[in-house]
Amino acid sequence: MKPPDHAIASGDREIARLMASALEAAGFEVEIASRFISYQKRPDAGRLRTLEDEGEAEAARIIEDVRAGRRAAPDLWFTYHPYCKAPDRIGPQVARALSIPYVTAEACRTRQGSGADWESGRMAVQEAVRLADINFCLKPSDEAYLRSILPDMKSTVALMPFLDADAIRADATSIDPTPFFARQAPLIVAVGMMRPGAKTQSYRLLAESLSDLADRPWNLAVIGDGPERGNVEAMFGFASKEVPVGGARSAAGGTPPWPAKGRIRFTGALPHADVLGWMRAADLLAWPGIGEAIGMVYLEAAACRLPVAACDVANVATVVSDGETGLLAGQAETAAYREVLSRLLSDEALRRRLGDGGSEKTGRDHGIGGAAATLKTAIEPLLRRSMRPAALAR
């Protein structure tokens, strides 16, 4: 996928950066060996052949540079997130040619497309994980995938999704949401790219659920951008209507209607520090999580003491503990998710308890220190066997 220093923000880029940081915290030297991107969005035989040729040429270049002394020889090759749309076209070739250990993290499969669409990439990933000395598994579906193709599970090592909570808290900017909304109310934040498929489905479920809660006081900041932005904004069109807050008004007055367009703010894409700033200013993160591979946004919310409203789908429960760090709807459907949102909006004490629980659990189970220890324990024996200093290339 994208290298850690790629300009476009995404969950996979953030995890790649965290992997590099954790490896460095474990005492290893990390080098980005290549910025070649093997990702292919849609099946295309011509594009596939081009990427295969480019990957082979890049691997040959790295091998030749090492043998000619133009670059230092790596002691181990580490590849993050190979899957059928973005197989590792370089690492296995380099590892074999230089006789160095090969390691993967979060190798997985996708169920998108037909079996034939991604057959070449699927075979490349299977070859890579069978070659690997270590396959780090970040979620249950990783383990299930590897179990289906490996002769045994000796190469697999569990690695919990993680982040640097101290850096999260230090990086967050100071956001005052008051000027953006017509009235004070519990602030919900939703963070997600606006692209077709699962992300749009999550936005639709959130919009449908909040539409049913339109008579309740809440504000919403939607952070993200993409080709589906127009459609996403249209999903929340109900908020332009004047709705009595707290139910029907009495003839003698009572609660006035919510001002038109006064409760939702579409921020567009923001720098990461500003996303964190909105999280720290909010009362609740609402993101259903349909199709989420890991959902780093949930860990970031927990680090900001922000409770989560999500669905128990995909791999969300790997990073959101129902009743401890947030509330999970049993399925991704409107009635169940609406109930989760309703409970959290109406109960400030519950939000505070879940926020505290998220902060505690992130530090206990998802910290970068624990990840560094896991990486160190697994990788050091490989390097000792190779009789080389502990330097890594990625």
Is the predicted pLDDT of residue 46 greater than 90, yes or no? no
Q: How is the chain split into domains, by residue range? A: 11-162+367-393, 167-365
Same topology for domains 11-162+367-393 and 167-365, yes or no?
yes
- Taking 90 as the threshold, does the pLDDT of residue 260 lie above it? no
Domain range 167-365, CATH class: alpha beta
- pLDDT tens digit sequence for 226-236: 999 999 999 99
Q: What is the mean pLDDT of residues 168-179?
A: 93
Q: 38-42, 70-74, 107-111: which range is least confident on average?
A: 107-111
**Interval 115-148: pLDDT, tens:** 677 888 899 999 999 999 999 999 999 999 999 9
Does 259 have pLDDT greater than 60? no
Q: Flag whether pLDDT at 113 surpasses 70.
A: no
The arrangement of strands across the sheet holding 284-286 comes to 264-268, 219-223, 187-191, 284-286, 308-311, 326-329
Q: What is the pLDDT of residues 301-342, one digit of tens each?
A: 999 999 999 999 999 999 999 999 999 999 999 999 999 999
Which pLDDT score is estimated for 270?
A: 95
Q: What is the pLDDT of residue 289?
A: 98
Q: What is the pLDDT of residues 262-277, one digit of tens each?
A: 899 999 999 999 999 9
Judge: domain 11-162+367-393, CATH 2.170.120.12: no
Per-residue confidence band for 245, with pLDDT thresholds at 50, 70 and 90: very low
Is residue 390 pLDDT above 50, yes or no? Answer: no
